[in-house]
Amino acid sequence: TESRVINFGAGPSALPVPVLEEAAQGLLNFNGTGIGIAEISHRSKEFSAYIASVEAQIRTQLAVPPTHSILFLQGGGTAQFSAVVLNMMARHRLLNPEMDDDERVMDYVLTGSWSKAAVHEAGRLAGGAKVNIAVDARTLSADGKSFDRIPPHDAYRFSKDPALIYYCENETVSGTQFSSDPTHPASFPFERLPGDKLLPLVADYSSSFMSRPIPRLADHAIVYAGAQKNLGPAGLTIAIVRQDCIVDVDAAARLGAVPVPTGLAYKSFAEQKNMPNTPPVFAVYVTGLVLKRNAELGGVQYYEELNRRKQEKVYGVLKEGEAKGLLKGHVQPGSGSSMNVVFNVIGEGAEARFLAGAEERGMKGLKGHRSVGGIRVSLYNAVTEEQVDTLVAYIREFLNQTP
Ligand code: PMP
């Protein structure tokens, strides 16, 4: 492990070393079975018990209410862009069998490139329904085309009876995140949501899942996340789905809804204990190890505090750099992500110099996404406060050395 660098990558990202060491053992011999975790039958009693315990850990640590099921899916966030549309449109069909297709609508909150990708997929699968953009954060930016803020509550225009209302809680590329404080202007506008029925509210938590508690989880229809940021290896996707959204997609198809592939139908997973087919056994295993460690450390509350300190340190030094005219944050104050901090280094060749200096000091994964450029510091759970201190000291040194 001495040869390991500090990994600020956006995902897949750092995992805790003790977990990796235990997982290495598990690859050889899973829980004393004499069979490695990548080799053992997913139907074995040992693995069946293990996957049930992973589910129980998530339920406890995130306080998932009994109204919601926890599903272990595959295909990443990308498959969920499709699955949420197909399952929620099927639900809407069952609830409103007589409605014309062109009267159906899905509301999307557009705050960055990941919600944009979800909008695109909704358009492909809408089957005649309308995709309504409840708000486009770009229209609020200075140049009219940057995703640089979370919109204020009065900017949202929701439809009356949408099949789903979609938002991305943390935009990994642009570095904007909804505030978890309900009184903050950048919080999600729960009070503006339509109707008094069970809300069809869908949230992409891919890059913030398990980093802090989920505000108003009980009011969501679906919260989903790929495991590969805060939890484990890619391959496992977790969805917390309210039971009224686990619908009979075949009955809906008979009424004219788009047929839902078995691997995307929540019902298949809910009815077959998360194993309608072979689950990503290794990813489930490592996720379970991470959750066990989380529980020992103090759960999601522990990470909320740790991540807040990490975030404050990085935004703090960014502010110093801005005061000197050497750094420029991508995001408006108040809308910055606690997980992904995005900024530019000002000056000819300065960014390359910044990255080279970081690499020399054993810090990697800091280059921003190609669509935004600049620097992106990802502060997922496994990034330690000491590692953040090392980065902050380097940034300060960089600022002092720049003439
Ligand atoms: N949503 C968000 C917020 C993401 O960060 C990502 C991936 N980084 C995705 C969706 C897509 O997820 P996947 O690569 O697992 O399909």
pTM for this prediction: 0.98
Architecture of domain 45-294: 3-Layer(aba) Sandwich (3.40)
Binding site membership of 204 for ligand 1 (Cβ less than 6 Å)? yes
Q: What's the CA-to-centroid distance between 75 and ligand 1, angstroms?
A: 10
β strands within 145-243, DSSP E = 164-168, 170-171, 176-177, 201-204, 222-226, 237-242
User: Per residue in 235-247, pLDDT tens?
Assistant: 999 999 999 999 9
> What average pLDDT is seen over the chain?
97
User: Per residue in 368-383, pLDDT tens?
Assistant: 999 999 999 999 999 9
Query: Given 3.40.50.880, 1.20.81.30, 1.10.1740.10, 3.90.1150.10, which CATH number is that of 299-401?
Result: 3.90.1150.10
Q: What's the CA-to-centroid distance between 11 and ligand 1, angstroms?
A: 9
Q: What's the CA-to-centroid distance between 122 and ligand 1, angstroms?
A: 16
Residue type, 282: F
**Residue percentage of the chain with pLDDT more than 90:** 98
Reported as a pLDDT band with limits 50, 70 and 90, residue 2 is: confident
Domain ranges in the chain are 45-294, 299-401
User: Per residue in 37-63, pLDDT tens?
Assistant: 999 999 999 999 999 999 999 999 999
| Residue tagged 């380097």 (tokens) | 394
Q: Positive or negative CA dihedral for 62, 68, 73, 79?
A: negative
Q: What's the CA-to-centroid distance between 227 and ligand 1, angstroms?
A: 10
Asked whether 163 and 200 are in contact (CB, 8 A), the reply is: yes
Asked whether 384 and 307 are in contact (CB, 8 A), the reply is: no
User: Per residue in 74-103, pLDDT tens?
Assistant: 999 999 999 999 999 999 999 999 999 999
User: Per residue in 265-310, pLDDT tens?
Assistant: 999 999 999 999 999 999 999 999 999 999 999 999 999 999 999 9
Provide φ and ψ at 187, rounded to 5°: -80, 170
Binding site membership of 280 for ligand 1 (Cβ less than 6 Å)? no
The Cα 111–Cα 138 span in angstroms is 7
Reported as a pLDDT band with limits 50, 70 and 90, residue 385 is: very high
Binding site membership of 78 for ligand 1 (Cβ less than 6 Å)? yes
Tokens linked to 206: 């891919």
ipTM > 0.85? yes
Predicted confidence (pLDDT) at residue 196 exceeds the cutoff of 80:
no
